[in-house]
Amino acid sequence: MTRTGSPTGLRFPAAVRQATAYVPDWSGQDRTGLIRLDRNEATAPLSPAVAEALVAHIQRHGVHGYPEYPRLVAALAGYTGLPAGWILPTNGSDQAIDVCLRAFLAPGATMLVARPEFVIFGHSAGLLGAEVLGVPYGPDLEFPYAEFRAAATAGPDLIVFVNPNNPTGTPVDVEFIVETVEAYPATPVVVDEAYAEFTGVTVAPLIERYPNLVVLRTFSKAFAMAGLRLGYVLARPEVVDQLVKIRNPFDVNALAVVAALAQLERVDEMRASVAETMHRTKPAVLDFFREHGVPVWPGAANFLLVRPGGCAETMDRLRAAGILVRRMTPPALAGTFRMNLGTPAEMTTFMDVYRELLPAPGGVEAKQ
């Protein structure tokens, strides 16, 4: 491994020296009291029953003991329909990504993914000294099926699908994922399903048929647990047996386990919230943008990609009104921001504020 010096005199791998830290917009700023549509977080609080479960655990058991996972894995088996031995809890899906990439990529290896992708994939691959074979999304942010199929013939060491993609919201046809898994049975195919609860689409049941298929999930989105950091990997037991060597034994904290168990006892509540977001809130916001001529990509999940006229100024004015959205930096997304969907009340406020930012009657938003 190539190592280079640093101003401290310490020696770091070149891949670490050349990387840049991932720092989210508004990092370090007080977001209290703001409408937070910038990080694809749930904006509503945890269910009172889940909060009560956390308080009860702290009062009865404290947090001085190491966590245990058998009950969580059993509950996830019931939720996913896969055997317990096929499930590996992780410290958020970010760790699930990191564990998988560390398992399948070595310096000089290659990872195939459509770009722009969820940034942690490229970031982690770079830190491992791997090369990213990035296939650009189409001009209207559609998935590049033909180009991806052609790129896969180069024989990458890992193939990644983010379904639906973040930040573009683009879905991938399950039939194409299956085609790829079947065409390259000796190549691991990782499918990030962070938003599966919102789309209702998953390839998890296919893991039994395809040993090279690995699925990643999270509790950060539909289950509103981003601050507790809980994700999980779904894979054949022979794969999980290798991945567990990379995840440290107590990486998932005890409170995340308690909250997840309480959530999985109330899945109907989550599904009702998801249905309201996808079938009421999202159509209302899309109609608002389209009515006012603002270019918008609806995607398949609970967030939108918006291209207003004068993106930077629009974001500043939203920020001044107490609303945060996420500026997109990939060149293909220049002049856009991404926004997750909040509660109905928050989205009513958002539309009221945005209406004041629109051109005078008779004018239209200008494309950038």
- Inside any domain, residue 226: yes
Structural domain count, the chain: 2
User: In terms of C-beta density within 10 A (0-12 exposed, 13-18 middle, 19 or more buried), how is residue 360 classed?
Assistant: exposed
Q: Determine the structural domain holding residue 227 and report its residue range.
A: 48-265
- Inside any domain, residue 130: yes
What are the residues whose beta carbons fall under 8 Å from the beta carbon of 311, sequence distance 6 or more? 327, 335, 336, 337, 368
pLDDT digits (tens, 9 = 90+) for 43-80: 988 999 999 999 999 999 999 999 999 999 999 999 99
133 & 181 share domain: yes
What is residue 368's predicted lDDT score, i.e. its pLDDT? 36
Q: Give dist(CA 82, CA 80) in Å, integer.
A: 5
Predicted TM-score (pTM) of the model is 0.93
What is residue 80's predicted lDDT score, i.e. its pLDDT? 98
Instruction: Sheet containing 296-297: give its strands across.
Output: 296-297, 303-306, 337-340, 326-327
109 & 241 share domain: yes
- Token pair, residue 88, equals 């590996």
Long-range CB pairs of 108-111, under 8 A, 24+ apart, other chains included: 109/157, 109/158, 110/154, 110/155, 110/156, 110/157, 110/158, 111/156, 111/157, 111/158, 111/159, 111/160
What is residue 23's predicted lDDT score, i.e. its pLDDT? 74
Domain boundary among 208, 241, 265: 265
236 & 121 share domain: yes
168 & 306 share domain: no
CATH, residue 342: 3.90.1150.10
242 & 296 share domain: no
Closest to 326 (Cα-Cα) out of 127, 126, 161, 169: 169
pLDDT digits (tens, 9 = 90+) for 100-132: 999 999 999 999 999 999 999 999 999 999 999
304 & 201 share domain: no
Domain boundary among 217, 232, 265: 265
306 & 170 share domain: no
CATH, residue 136: 3.40.640.10
- Inside any domain, residue 13: no
